[in-house]
Amino acid sequence: MVELSVPNAGEIHRASPTCGQILPILEKLVAHLAVKGGDTVFVSNLKKQVWGNLSKCYQNDEIRNFLQVATALDPRFKHKLDDDTIWDQMQRNLIEQSKEEDGGADGATMQSENEDEQKSVSEQ
């Protein structure tokens, strides 16, 4: 039986990996658990069973999105995302959030100040 080694063993030996490490670890496991031509029947079945179990983890859209954002923000992995979608989504979320904050108390104050200015201009 061939021993499965993880290229970055430091990630596995940590007691608690960060959420930004989960997707990169899963990607490495996908590569290691791929059935290869030289695998015995036992090893091949073991890989299929382990991957069958792992492939069901982290499939919830909200959890997956959270893990993608965490991975993108982790400086060790931010350049490993092939898809710019997560960056676009983060940008949209930040813009929405800033608009919501601007529309709060400060937005109401700004609006009333603008109305006061318009009244004073029209009175002149």
pLDDT along the chain (124 residues), means of 10: 53 71 89 91 94 89 89 79 76 87 60 60 55
What is the C-alpha to C-alpha distance for residues 7 and 18, in angstroms, rounded to an integer? Answer: 18
For residues 63 and 72, the answer to whether their CB atoms sit within 8 Å is no
pTM above 0.75, yes or no: no
What is the C-alpha to C-alpha distance for residues 72 and 86, in angstroms, rounded to an integer? Answer: 8
For residues 80 and 67, the answer to whether their CB atoms sit within 8 Å is no
